[in-house]
Amino acid sequence: MTENLRGRVALVTGGSRGIGAAIVKALAAADAAVAINYRSHAEQADALVERIRSAGGNAIAVQADVSQAEAVAKMIERVKSELGPIDILVNNAGVAIVRGVDDLSEADFDETIAVNLKSVFLCTQAVLPMMRATTWGRIVNISSGAARGAGSIGPHYNASKAGMEGLTRGYAARLVKEGITVNAVAPSLIETDMMKGQESLVARIPLGRFGRVEEVATAVMMLINNPYMTGQTVAMSGGMAFN
């Protein structure tokens, strides 16, 4: 069962499309007020806000590069002033720069770590005072099967997602007594823009199809609704791998 989240404020980074947009819709359907962060897809973010408001929900779009501390601080202040203190944070923003070992540059590595990993640290640190004030908080980080497997993007991506899961466990252990849970969802081969032209990869999936963004959102909502789960990573791979 999905808990009614009326009165709760959620922030989803990278929320304008794909997995992020599906999570935004699920949160709005549960009556949470949702801040949709985006870096460059303003039109899609605004359309999502309009869709939620038309259905009677409450949402805003907030532009910010979440790998930058100053931008994160401004984003958090705007969300707090327009929607209220943040109760739920979904760290979904990420980049997937496909590189082989011989092609991988320092710039590629730095950007991947900054967007995929440093942003989780910056956003989490920024929302903690609000969650601690109410002794209630839910943080869900969107990882990847690449945190434990080879993947097809590159070792820089593997490192960023493995680091995210390390942050998940580290925060969970230290915040559990304060009413704040921290978990991760690790999807593999989900039907997003990243998978266009990659249909041959379906042959690797025992279930026989790509995962759907709505299925990832369902896992995120399960973690938000369950106060007894913390420090966990929920893997979603259609049977390719098992924990």
Give catalytic residues, as residue numbers. Answer: 157
110: enclosing H helix or E strand: helix 106-113
One-letter amino acid for residue 29 of the chain = A
Cβ proximity of 234 and 186 under 8 Å: yes
> Could you count the other beta carbons within 10 Å of the beta carbon of residue 187?
23
Residue owning tokens 């709005």: 28
Residue from 53, 6, 54 nearest 32 by CA: 6
- Could you give the strand order of the β-sheet that contains 59-63, starting from the edge strand earlier in sequence? 59-63, 33-38, 9-12, 88-91, 137-142, 180-187, 233-236
**Cα-Cα-Cα-Cα dihedral of 141, 2, 24, 238, to 10°?**
60
